[in-house]
Amino acid sequence: MVEIVSDDSPKTSGIGIYSSNGLIAIRIIYFGENFSLQEVHGMVFTAIKKRLPLLEYTDSLRWIHGENDGFPGITIDMHGNSLIVMVYSDSLSVYSRYVSRVLNYYLEKKFSVKAKNILLKIPRRIGKENLPHSKENLKLLKGTLQNNTLLHYRNLEYNINLQSQKGGTYDDLRNLRDFIITNQKLFQGKKVLNLFSNNGLTSVVIERTGAKSIYSLEDSETSIQTHLKNLTDSTRKKHIVKKLDLFKNLSKYLEELNEFFDVILIDPPSLTSNAKDVTKAKLIYSR
């Protein structure tokens, strides 16, 4: 940690964590003087209370949402009985472990939410740097190292791979899934095209609305296998799941398919981590 002091005053104006090899040199974790670990406890407790209502219908959610909750560079998701800690710099590894312990303590002691496993994950886009890791970029902090876990979303059970993108699933699409469920008539009897379908959870939610068929296109083989494993014999016939590089081959595939779709969903991945990538990303998206 580093102490932030301004040129105008000898007083401490904040506390940050320094990174010698990241895009961000210092992440500010506290503004002002007299920082203590009780500040961390307070921020964690506040974050928990904001998201407690989600437990009424799912056990897959983001408890700690980076800078939004005062923890820049750190996110902590829960999927089923596992907490997935993700950091965006190796400099945050020690601090993120402490935050995860505080989170786990309050979840269990104050709200009877027990996480059997806590896993630390490094996003692949920053490499493996100096953080201790397994070959899959996962490090066990508590419990057992699991590849898969079962999550619950409303009346749906879904098995996800914790080593896949975003620690298993994209919870930022939950509002879209909620919209689908509350507007089922938009999908009933319809042909749906789901681009960048990830692990197929959204496609299965669409299937539950009574859609006629769902075409799910995804480039990740791991995500496709997760999707296929969650289909049952009775519902499999509604799903067409295909591995495809959508940026390169989507137009050709749709021409050959020659199908009309009533509904198209698209949630492309982010292709920019800094300003230098913007031009390249625009070219790729334009395809």
pLDDT band with cut points at 50, 70 and 90 for residue 135: very low
Question: Is residue 48 a contact partner of residue 63, using CB atoms and an 8 Å limit?
Answer: yes
Determine the pLDDT at residue 188. Answer: 97
DSSP strand pairing (148-153 vs 156-161): antiparallel
pLDDT band with cut points at 50, 70 and 90 for residue 276: low
Which range is least confidently modeled, 90-104, 159-173, 181-195, 267-281?
267-281
Average pLDDT over residues 117-146: 69
Determine the pLDDT at residue 282. Answer: 46
Average pLDDT over residues 136-150: 84
Whether the pLDDT of residue 136 is over 90: the answer is no
- Name, in order, each residue with C-beta under 8 angstroms of 196's C-beta and a sequence gap of 6 or more: 217, 218, 219, 246, 266, 267, 268, 269
pLDDT band with cut points at 50, 70 and 90 for residue 279: low
What are the backbone dihedrals phi and psi of residue 200, each rounded to the nearest 5 degrees, phi first?
A: 90, 0
Determine the pLDDT at residue 285. Answer: 44
Residue located via tokens 């879904």? 158
Q: Examine domains 36-153+161-166 and 170-286 and report if their fold is the same.
A: no
Domain boundaries, the chain: 36-153+161-166, 170-286
Whether the pLDDT of residue 74 is over 70: the answer is yes
The pLDDT > 90 percentage for the chain reads 61
Whether the pLDDT of residue 277 is over 50: the answer is no
Average pLDDT over residues 134-148: 78
Class of domain 170-286: alpha beta
> CA-to-CA distance for 217 and 204, rounded, in angstroms?
13
Average pLDDT over residues 30-51: 88
The residue that leads in pLDDT, 149 or 15, is 149
Whether the pLDDT of residue 280 is over 70: the answer is no
Average pLDDT over residues 260-275: 76
Average pLDDT over residues 4-29: 73
Q: Which amino acid is at 234?
A: S
> CA-to-CA distance for 197 and 156, rounded, in angstroms?
17
The residue that leads in pLDDT, 208 or 89, is 208
pLDDT tens-digit map of 42-70: 999 999 999 999 999 999 999 999 999 99
pLDDT tens-digit map of 197-233: 999 999 999 999 999 999 999 999 999 999 999 999 9
The pLDDT > 70 percentage for the chain reads 83
Determine the pLDDT at residue 255. Answer: 94
Which range is least confidently modeled, 2-16, 156-170, 252-266?
2-16
What is the widest separation between alpha-carbon atoms in the chain? 70
Determine the pLDDT at residue 129. Answer: 47
Residue located via tokens 């506390």? 15
Fold of 36-153+161-166: Transcription Regulator spoIIAA (3.30.750)
Average pLDDT over residues 137-145: 86
